[in-house]
C-alpha cells in the first residue's frame, strides 16, 4: 500500500509538473507577457485587447441568485458580480480556498458558535450606474432566494440556515421572498438579516462556520438592486458591480454577450489578487460545437488565437494535440468525482458490498473512458481540492479489481453464486465501454452482471425507492470547498429518503453513526472541528461501502497562442480563471 501511495504521489506530481510545463508553454514570448502556471499568474500581462470565450451549452441562468454552475459562477465572479468575499487567484489549493475581502472590508466576524456573521461593506463601491452598493442591496439579494416559486434553480442553502421559522404545512420558510410575502414572513426575515449602516448581520438557526467559503463560492448572497428586479424576467439580465458591464443589459442565451469596461468600477476598491481585468473586452460566444471550437483552437488563427474555452478536448482530438497545440494545452483535475452507489435495499449483505468493492476495476473504467487525459484515480468521494481532504482507507490501494479476493468473500458469505446484480448508468458510447470493463471483473468474482444503460430518465429512475438497480453510477462536486457539501447531501438519510423518492441518497444508505457525525459537523462552531467530524463520517461510509470511488474527471483544455496569464485555479473550479487572463496586443 505504501508503495502504491508513493506511486500515486509520484503520478500526481508528474501530472502537476506536466500541467505546469504545458501551461508554461502557453505563455507568450513576443512581448514578455505572462508565464502561465507561474506562482504569480498574469503578473507580466498587459491590459487591453479582446478575449474570446467559447462556450458550447447555453447558460440556463445569469441572475446571481439563480446561477449554480461552477464555470458560470467563476466567469461572472471575476468580471461582473462582486461579493462580500472572494477566492484569490492561486494554484495552491490552500491559498485558493482561503477567502479574501471583496466588497467587504474584511472576511467577516462570527460569534462564538458561528450562528451569526457580520460584514462591513467598503466605502466607494458602486453599481454600474454609479449608485453606491448598500447593505440593503445585500439583504435584498438574499431575500430573493426565498421566492422559490420565482427564483428557481439556484443554490438554496440559506433557506435551511437563516433563522426564519418554517411553515409546517409547506415545509418551507414562512418568508416567501420579496414579491408576495406575508407581513409575518417579512418581519421574520427582517429579524434574521439586519443592516446597521454599512454593516450587514446574518443570524442563522445553526452554526455555519464555513459561511465565508459559501459566500465566496456561490453568488446566492450577492447584492441585488431592488429597482432592477423583474423576478423571473431578470434571468438573463446583468447589472454589474465589477470591472466589466454587459453591452446592452441582457445576456443572449443562444449567442452570449460582450463584456466591456465598467466606467463606474473603481479598481482601488478591489484587489488584483481577485481580478486583474486585463482585456478591454470579453466576448462570450455560445453555441459552437465542441469540435468546431477545437478545430479553431488547434488551427490557432484569427480570433481563436485570443480564445479560451470551458469545453474539454474531445477524446477524438487527443491525437491532434501535439507540437504547438500541446504547448497550449493544460491537463488539470476537475472538482468532480464519479462513484458507484450500491443499493442498500437490495445488497443487504455487507460481504456482498465488500466483494463488489474489491472486484471493481476502476483502472479499467478509466482506460475505457479515455485514459489519463480523461480521468485520474480517486480514493474518496471527496475531491482532493476540498479542505481537509484525506484518502479514505477503505479505497486505498490498487484499483484494478481483485476478482479472486472478491470471490472468496462471496463464498465465505455463503450467498448463492453467481450473484445476480444490475448495474444502472447513463448511456453513452463511452459509458458502455466503461461498464463493460466493470462487468468483466465483477463477473469473474462470481457476480452475474446485467448492464442497464438509461437515457434522459436516469436520475428519475435511480431516485425511485422501488428501483431494481443493485449498483448505480453517480457524480458529484462540492458547492464550496468543504466536505459538508459532499457527504451529508448524498448520504444523510433524513432529508433524502421519503416515501416517494430517495433524493440524492440513491443507494438508500441509512446509518445512525454517519448521521450523528453529520450532526456533529453541522453543529461545529469552527471549520477544523467540522472537518474532523466529516473525515470520520467519510471513513464510516467507506467501512459500510456506501460508495465506491471511480475517478476524478480531468480537465483537458486548449487556449489560443495570444492568450496571456492563462491559469486554471481551484477558485475557478479549474476552468480558465478570468482573473489574470489577458491577451497580447
Instruction: Using CB under 8 A, list all residues that contact other proteins.
Output: 58, 60, 68, 148-150, 152-157, 159, 170-172, 179-180, 230-233, 235-236, 253-255, 287-289, 291-292, 295-296, 299, 301-302, 456-457, 459-461, 479, 489, 495, 498, 500-501, 504
Q: CA 357, CA 396: separation in Å to the nearest integer?
A: 11
Residue 512: exposed, middle, or buried by beta-carbon count in 10 A (0-12, 13-18, 19+)?
exposed
Rounded (5°) CA angle 354-358-361: 135
In whole angstroms, the minimum distance from the beta carbon of 474 to other proteins comes to: 12
Q: List, in sequence order, the alpha helices (H) in 383-482.
A: 403-413, 429-444, 458-462
In whole angstroms, the minimum distance from the beta carbon of 63 to other proteins comes to: 10
Q: CA 434, CA 439: separation in Å to the nearest integer?
A: 9
Q: Is the CB of 157 or the CB of 425 nearer to other proteins?
A: 157
Q: Is the CB of 266 or the CB of 460 nearer to other proteins?
A: 460
Centre a 10 Å sphere on the Cβ of residue 41 and count the other Cβ atoms it contains: 27
Q: Is the CB of 251 or the CB of 375 nearer to other proteins?
A: 251
In whole angstroms, the minimum distance from the beta carbon of 68 to other proteins comes to: 5
Cβ atoms of 36 and 23 within 8 Å: the answer is yes
In whole angstroms, the minimum distance from the beta carbon of 494 to other proteins comes to: 11
Q: Is the CB of 488 or the CB of 579 nearer to other proteins?
A: 488
In whole angstroms, the minimum distance from the beta carbon of 290 to other proteins comes to: 11
In whole angstroms, the minimum distance from the beta carbon of 550 to other proteins comes to: 20
Q: CA 1, CA 507: separation in Å to the nearest integer?
A: 29
Centre a 10 Å sphere on the Cβ of residue 516 and count the other Cβ atoms it contains: 14
Q: CA 297, CA 26: separation in Å to the nearest integer?
A: 13
In whole angstroms, the minimum distance from the beta carbon of 28 to other proteins comes to: 22
Q: Is the CB of 265 or the CB of 514 nearer to other proteins?
A: 514
In whole angstroms, the minimum distance from the beta carbon of 343 to other proteins comes to: 19
Task: Residue count of the chain, please give it.
Answer: 585
Q: Is the CB of 130 or the CB of 455 nearer to other proteins?
A: 455
Q: Is the CB of 319 or the CB of 457 nearer to other proteins?
A: 457
Beta bridge partners of 86: 100
Residue 462: exposed, middle, or buried by beta-carbon count in 10 A (0-12, 13-18, 19+)?
buried
Q: CA 304, CA 315: separation in Å to the nearest integer?
A: 20
Q: Is the CB of 149 or the CB of 432 nearer to other proteins?
A: 149
Q: Is the CB of 131 or the CB of 289 nearer to other proteins?
A: 289
In whole angstroms, the minimum distance from the beta carbon of 515 to other proteins comes to: 17
Cβ atoms of 423 and 474 within 8 Å: the answer is no
The b-or-e profile of 89-126 (16+ CB within 10 A means b, else e) is bbbebebbbbbbbbbbeebbebeeebbbbbbbbbeebb
Q: Is the CB of 178 or the CB of 401 nearer to other proteins?
A: 178
In whole angstroms, the minimum distance from the beta carbon of 451 to other proteins comes to: 20
Q: CA 575, CA 312: separation in Å to the nearest integer?
A: 10
Cβ atoms of 262 and 78 within 8 Å: the answer is no
Amino acid at each position: 500500500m505504501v508503495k502504491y501511495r508513493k506511486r500515486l504521489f509520484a503520478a500526481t506530481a508528474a501530472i502537476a509538473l506536466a500541467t505546469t510545463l504545458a501551461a508554461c508553454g502557453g505563455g507568450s514570448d513576443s512581448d514578455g507577457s505572462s508565464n502561465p502556471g507561474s506562482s504569480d499568474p498574469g503578473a507580466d500581462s498587459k491590459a487591453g485587447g479582446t478575449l474570446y470565450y467559447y462556450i458550447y451549452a447555453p447558460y440556463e441562468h445569469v441572475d446571481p441568485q439563480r446561477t449554480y454552475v461552477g464555470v458560470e459562477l467563476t466567469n461572472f465572479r471575476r468580471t461582473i458580480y462582486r461579493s462580500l468575499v472572494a477566492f484569490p487567484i492561486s494554484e495552491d489549493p490552500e491559498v485558493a480556498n482561503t477567502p479574501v475581502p471583496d466588497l467587504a472590508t474584511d472576511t467577516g466576524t462570527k460569534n462564538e458558535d458561528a450562528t451569526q456573521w457580520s460584514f462591513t461593506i467598503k466605502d466607494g463601491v458602486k453599481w454600474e450606474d454609479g449608485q453606491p452598493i448598500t447593505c440593503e442591496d445585500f439583504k435584498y439579494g438574499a431575500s430573493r432566494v426565498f421566492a422559490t416559486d420565482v427564483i428557481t434553480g439556484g443554490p438554496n442553502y440559506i433557506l435551511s440556515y437563516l433563522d426564519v421559522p418554517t411553515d409546517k404545512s409547506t415545509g418551507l420558510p414562512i418568508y416567501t421572498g420579496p414579491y408576495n410575502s406575508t407581513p409575518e414572513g417579512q418581519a421574520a426575515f427582517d429579524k434574521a438579516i439586519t443592516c446597521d449602516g454599512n454593516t450587514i448581520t446574518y443570524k442563522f438557526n445553526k452554526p455555519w462556520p464555513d459561511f465565508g467559503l459559501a459566500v465566496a463560492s456561490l453568488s446566492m448572497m450577492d447584492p441585488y438592486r431592488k429597482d432592477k428586479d423583474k423576478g423571473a424576467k431578470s434571468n438573463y439580465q446583468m447589472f454589474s458591480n465589477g470591472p466589466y458591464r454587459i453591452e446592452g443589459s441582457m445576456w443572449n442565451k443562444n449567442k452570449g454577450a460582450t463584456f466591456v469596461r465598467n466606467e463606474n468600477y473603481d479598481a482601488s476598491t478591489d484587489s488584483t489578487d481577485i481580478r486583474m481585468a486585463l482585456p478591454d473586452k470579453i466576448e462570450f460566444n455560445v453555441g459552437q460545437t465542441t469540435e468546431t471550437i477545437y478545430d479553431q483552437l488547434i488551427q490557432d488563427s484569427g480570433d481563436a488565437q485570443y480564445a479560451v474555452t470551458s469545453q474539454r478536448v474531445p477524446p477524438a482530438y487527443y491525437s491532434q494535440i501535439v507540437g504547438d497545440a500541446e504547448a497550449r494545452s493544460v491537463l488539470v483535475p476537475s472538482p468532480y468525482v464519479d462513484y458507484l452507489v450500491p443499493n442498500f435495499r437490495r445488497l443487504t449483505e455487507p460481504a456482498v458490498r465488500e466483494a463488489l468493492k474489491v472486484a471493481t476495476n476502476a483502472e479499467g473504467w478509466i482506460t475505457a473512458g479515455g485514459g489519463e487525459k480523461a480521468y485520474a484515480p480517486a480514493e474518496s468521494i471527496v475531491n482532493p481540492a476540498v479542505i481537509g481532504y484525506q484518502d479514505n482507507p477503505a479505497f486505498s490501494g490498487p484499483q484494478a479489481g481483485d476478482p479472486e479476493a472478491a470471490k472468496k468473500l462471496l463464498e465465505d458469505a455463503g450467498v448463492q453464486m453467481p450473484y445476480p446484480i444490475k448495474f444502472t448508468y447513463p448511456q453513452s458510447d463511452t459509458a458502455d465501454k466503461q461498464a463493460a470493463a466493470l462487468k468483466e471483473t465483477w463477473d469473474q468474482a462470481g457476480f452475474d452482471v446485467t448492464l442497464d444503460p438509461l437515457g434522459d430518465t436516469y436520475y428519475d429512475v435511480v431516485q425511485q425507492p422501488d428501483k431494481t438497480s443493485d449498483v448505480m453510477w453517480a457524480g458529484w462536486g462540492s458547492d464550496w470547498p468543504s466536505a459538508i457539501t459532499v457527504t451529508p447531501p448524498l448520504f444523510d438519510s433524513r432529508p433524502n429518503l421519503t416515501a416517494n423518492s430517495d433524493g440524492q441518497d440513491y443507494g438508500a444508505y441509512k446509518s445512525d453513526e454517519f448521521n450523528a457525525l453529520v450532526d456533529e459537523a453541522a453543529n461545529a462552531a469552527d471549520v477544523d472541528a467540522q472537518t474532523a467530524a466529516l473525515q470520520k463520517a467519510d471513513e464510516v461510509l467507506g467501512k459500510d461501502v456506501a460508495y465506491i470511488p471511480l475517478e476524478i474527471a480531468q480537465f483537458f483544455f486548449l487556449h489560443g497562442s495570444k492568450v496571456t496569464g492563462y491559469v486554471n485555479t481551484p477558485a475557478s473550479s479549474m476552468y480558465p480563471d478570468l482573473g489574470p487572463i489577458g491577451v497580447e496586443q
